[in-house]
């Protein structure tokens, strides 16, 4: 069941990115958290590890996050430039729009 939902969500995400790309003028910038705040030692070993996902509504998998590998796979056809700022949870992808 969760695999099926993940596949549906992945299809929706790919359609969303395609629409954003079509709407962009020159660049599309996507920022996605790849490190879970629950992995922080101060939070990860407390009740907050289970409470925070309820607040941010990450569906059925309370510890879900895209990994750099999955983001690279999803965005591969756009040839983005990636940035991972130091001490950041976010992976930033900058996609230059191809002019036809």
The H or E element spanning position 38 is: none
Residue 21, token pair as written in the block: 């790309």
CA distance 38 to 43: 6
* Domain that includes residue 91, residue range: 2-96
- Structural domains of the chain, count: 1
Residue 74, token pair as written in the block: 């999803």
pLDDT tens figures, 37-92: 656 666 555 666 666 666 655 555 545 567 788 889 889 999 999 998 887 888 99
Q: pTM for this one? A: 0.68
Q: How many residues would you count in the chain?
A: 100
On whether the CB atoms of residues 13 and 20 are closer than 8 A, the answer is no
Coil/strand/helix, residue 81: strand
């Amino acid at each position: 069941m969760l695999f099926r939902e993940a596949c549906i969500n992945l299809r929706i995400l790919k359609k969303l990115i395609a629409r954003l790309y079509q709407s962009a003028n020159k660049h599309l910038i996507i920022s996605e958290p790849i490190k879970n705040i629950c992995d922080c030692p101060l939070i990860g070993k407390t009740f907050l590890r289970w409470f925070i996902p309820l607040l941010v509504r990450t569906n059925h998998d309370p510890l879900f996050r895209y990994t750099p590998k999955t983001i690279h796979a999803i965005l591969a056809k756009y040839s983005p430039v990636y940035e991972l700022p130091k001490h950041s949870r976010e992976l930033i992808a900058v996609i230059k729009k191809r002019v036809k």
